[in-house]
Amino acid sequence: MAYPSIFLPETHTALLARLDALTPTTPHVWGTMSPAQMLAHVNVSYEYTYGERSDVPPWFMRFILKTFLRPLLVGEKPYAKNSRTAPSMVMKQEKDFDAEMKRLKNYMQRIYDEGSAAWNNRKQVTLGVLTSEEWSNLYWKHMDHHLRQFGV
């Protein structure tokens, strides 16, 4: 299954529209996160991408992720419901919905504005160098997974 490219205007617009359908009280279909926690959780991946976090896994864990989980994360298969996440991405505290939404939209806009060429052969902190298509899959799959988690 080919995923829509996050670098295309129609995909970018559609994802933003789905985000706009999310409210602080939207109930989850599965999982335990609130909408605000989910937004904060998704923001963590962008924080790593832009070097705003330094708590990367040790080299051995990065090797395992790159070798065994990379195909699942950037490949053509959707994420399973209730999949486990990295400890650094678990949101235990409640978050500010509006602040997290604004941050997420800013990250999404930044990637969209940079364009596909800027993301080709760019290094991801745990998965190594990714093509722009793999970056797009990674971000689209993660966003879609969590938007479906809230029925939007």
Residue 102 tokens read as 């604004």
- 136 inside domain: yes
Domain with 48, as residue range(s), is 9-149
Give residue 78's pLDDT.
80
Kindly report the pTM of this predicted structure: 0.89
Is 100 inside a domain boundary? yes
Round to whole Å and give the CA distance between 152 and 146.
9
Distances (CA, A) of 133 to 74, 121, 126, 137: 8, 10, 17, 6
Mean pLDDT in the chain?
Answer: 90
Structure-token pair, residue 71: 């195909």
Torsion of CA 8, 138, 35, 101, to 10 degrees: -50
Question: What is the domain count for the chain?
Answer: 1
pLDDT for residue 129 is more than 70:
yes
Dihedral of CA atoms 96, 113, 90, 87 in degrees, nearest 10, equals -150
pLDDT confidence of residue 88: 65
Look at residue 118 and tell me if it is in a domain. yes
Mean pLDDT, range 24-41, rounded to an integer: 96
Closest-CA residue to 66 (of 131, 129, 141, 134):
129
CATH number at 140 reads 1.20.120
Buried b (16+ CB within 10 A) or exposed e, 112-148: beeebeebeeeebbbbeebebbbbbbbbbbbbbbbbe
Amino acid at 113: D
Higher pLDDT, 54 or 34: 34
Here the tokens at position 141 are 């799959």
% of the chain surpassing 90 pLDDT: 67
The reported pLDDT for the residue numbered 79 is: 77
67: which residues sit within 8 A by CB, 6+ positions away? Answer: none
**Per-residue pLDDT at 131 exceeds 80:** yes
Confirm whether 1 is domain-assigned.
no
